[in-house]
Structure 1
Amino acid sequence: MRRRLKTQWMWLTVFITVSFSGTFLLRGNHVREFQSNRTTGRTTESSFSLASMKHVTKSLAELGKMDDVNRHFLFLNHVPKCGSEILILLLQKLQGSNNYRHVRLTGGNKRYLMRSQQEALVFEMYDIIRKEAIPLSFDRHVYFINFTKFDRQLPTYINLIRDPVDKILSRTSYNDRLGKKDFYSKCLMRKKNNCNFKNGKTYDLTIPYFCGHDPRCMMLNNDWALQTAKANVEKYYPVVGVLEELNVTLEILEYKIPYFFKGIQDLYKKDLLKVYRNKKKPKILKIVQKKLKETLVKEYEFYEWIKSRLFRQLQIMYGDHNSH
């Protein structure tokens, strides 16, 4: 009987010793793993990579139920030759008084991005947001990106467009200064087929900047592209301005997005009004203008829709003021 008890006590002692040792080892491994993660975090902060961003930035799933759009993250994915330099300059001037920072993203003339390039841009922007830790505004020429496809909140998108023919004239006027021929006048007057803007390759269309990177977005007069662009504007763009209605645009921006645009109207009148008021529009033959309008049917439909939306917002704004 004594031998049996002695044997049981011996095994019990061995069991307790092994259990304690195992717990200690597991805890030690956990501490080492935690320290390793901390070191990796510091290392990856200094240089951007998709892997590091996915690790340190919480996804929408991890954050739980949230709005798709971040109100303290502004993105002007500006359309070329539509006066966006005015908005960029105003954003830069307002950043001090409104307590945010404006970041000009590099990317050259690359508007269309492959999916991997879209993902890289999304995580680059979130890397900057994480480091700055204050509200930020960004700008870059790039087609619309749906950030939720990469499990991130979308920015508050804004943009500025203009009359499609005037946009073409601005581009051709620039080309003339570089010594290039007025392509649009030449080909339209000679009634050749290479003025059809097929797939948007000849003329940088406006609709893709709101539609996205689907190949259909870049097709001229594609109804799916037009409807997709409208849907994205309604959901993600609180304001899309019109260059020909710049004063109304600035008024709506200050009303709808006051955090970034408080004081923008006064600043524009004080610093920029005289500069941009005196800019002359390039001349164009009426027959060329007529042909261009006939060609850019959906571009004009989108332009008129945006303009109508802007004035509806103005009516609502004054209705709100009157109700108070």
Structure 2
Amino acid sequence: MASIFHNNERAGKLAIVDSGYSEFPRGQLRDVPLPQFQMLTRLQWISLNIALIVASFVFTNWRINNLPITNEVISTKSRSLSAPVISSLIFYNRIPKTGSTTLTNAVMYDLCRRNGFHVLHLNLTRNRYSMNLIDQRRFVENITSWLEMQPAIYHGHAAFIDFTLFGVRNPVYINLLREPLERLLSHYYFLRYGDNYRIGLKRSRAGNNETFDECVARRGRDCDMKQMWLQIPYFCGTHHFCSEVGNVRALEQAKRNLLDHYLIVGLNERMRDFIALLEILLPKFFDGALEHFDSLDEKRAHLRNTKKKIPPNERTLEVIKSDKVYIMEREFYDFAAMQFENIWKRTHEDDSESDFLPQQFHFEKIKP
């Protein structure tokens, strides 16, 4: 039955004129109350739309679940987290006056051609050591996408950067530490007398023969405890609190980063042991490193050795060691030293000073 609709405005009703078979005579009007018809039509329309939406959702979901898995389907974040290969990049965010020149110039640069890797120096403008967030992104993107320069060791005076904030894996982090007062003394006299590496270069405090004791007595700038606050912020990273001298949160963050992100952190006074561990842990880069280091003459084995250092007197030691900054820096150094010693002991026989333990695991019950 087909119907033609007319609007009967006077009666306030919708009139239906039958155009096909009906028990009413052809052309006779039947009055249907308008509100009832509108409600019925609206319910039908809503039901139809709901049915279409549900059907569309079910079909789309089915299509997604049945798509073939290809490399193109992997999300951008998943792709970036899988690259670079973790062993192809090392970042040595070296700290001044800790023996870093010896490690880079007399070991890394000497081995790079033979072992087939690149060494690149990171230089921050105006001797800064902390990058802003934009430069961090640029740096991370640069070294992870520069495939022609992999495998590589990047080294430079830079605070720790967490690559995972930008969606990629961290490189292998390594570093060296030095007893904090020894490091500050070396830096203090280096500014005045230079070192055995760049002989003849005039340093910024050349001609100033004031001793460290005299500087401490008059509370000079070069011996201020702010100058000692360095190893903690290098490990803490680029958070605002890392550079705040004496910030306890910075110390805790530095410890956490050392444990969570550094493969190994060595000690200046145990350089040979550090190199021996690097050779075992990262053979792609440091194969033959220990033999090479042992073959160096005294000068090359101690590059950038400050020419003249005057040991502090007891009064100076008392002042320094009672200072909060020294106490915190020393706590961090002792923490790192304990970690290094633990690694060393667990990789050696009890009665051995040099021989590493053989492999302590094997595979079995392999199926099929």
Do the two structures share a fold, i.e. TM-score over 0.5?
Answer: yes
Seen in structure 2, the aligned counterparts of structure 1 residues 272 and 294 have a Cα distance that, compared at 3 Å, is: farther
Preserved contact between residue 69 and residue 156 of structure 1 (Cα < 8 Å): no
Seen in structure 2, the aligned counterparts of structure 1 residues 87 and 115 have a Cα distance that, compared at 3 Å, is: same
Say if 2:113 is the partner of 1:113: no
- What is the Cα deviation at residue 60 of structure 1? 6.6
Say if 2:236 is the partner of 1:211: yes
Say if 2:157 is the partner of 1:141: yes
- What is the Cα deviation at residue 87 of structure 1? 1.2
Unaligned runs of 5+ in 2: 1-73, 194-205, 350-355, 361-368
Q: Which residue of 1 aligns with 2:345?
A: 315
Within a 5 Å distance, the mapping from 1:250-265 to structure 2 comes to 250-265=275-290
Q: Which residue of 1 aligns with 2:166?
A: 150
Deviations 1:180-212 (A, max 9, x none): 464853342136899653xx4x44511111110
Q: Distance in 2 between matches of 1:230 and 1:159?
A: 13
Higher helix residue share = 1
Could you say which structure has the larger radius of gyration? 2
Q: Distance in 2 between matches of 1:211 and 1:308?
A: 18
Q: Tell me how large the CA RMSD over aligned residues is.
A: 2.9
Which residue of 89, 109, 118 maps to 1:101?
Answer: 118
Q: Distance in 2 between matches of 1:193 and 1:266?
A: 42
Seen in structure 2, the aligned counterparts of structure 1 residues 164 and 203 have a Cα distance that, compared at 3 Å, is: closer
Q: Distance in 2 between matches of 1:298 and 1:68?
A: 35
- What is the Cα deviation at residue 106 of structure 1? 2.5
Deviations 1:115-137 (A, max 9, x none): 1122222222224x3233x3111
Preserved contact between residue 60 and residue 66 of structure 1 (Cα < 8 Å): no
Preserved contact between residue 91 and residue 172 of structure 2 (Cα < 8 Å): yes
Deviations 1:35-68 (A, max 9, x none): xxxxxxxxxxxxxxxxxxxxxxx99714176499
Preserved contact between residue 188 and residue 223 of structure 2 (Cα < 8 Å): no
Which residue of 294, 297, 305 maps to 2:335?
Answer: 305
* Count of matched residue pairs: 262
After TM superposition, the score normalised by the length of structure 1 is: 0.72
Seen in structure 2, the aligned counterparts of structure 1 residues 250 and 60 have a Cα distance that, compared at 3 Å, is: farther
Name the % identity. 26
Say if 2:275 is the partner of 1:244: no
Unaligned runs of 5+ in 1: 1-57
SS at match of 2:357: helix
Q: Which amino acid aligns with 1:115?
A: L
- What is the Cα deviation at residue 219 of structure 1? 2.5
SS at match of 1:158: strand
SS at match of 1:207: helix
Q: Which residue of 1 aligns with 2:316?
A: 288
- What is the Cα deviation at residue 176 of structure 1? 1.5
Q: Distance in 2 between matches of 1:220 and 1:106?
A: 24
After TM superposition, the score normalised by the length of structure 2 is: 0.64
- What is the Cα deviation at residue 323 of structure 1? 6.2
Preserved contact between residue 68 and residue 148 of structure 1 (Cα < 8 Å): no
Q: Which amino acid aligns with 1:235?
A: D
Preserved contact between residue 102 and residue 302 of structure 2 (Cα < 8 Å): no
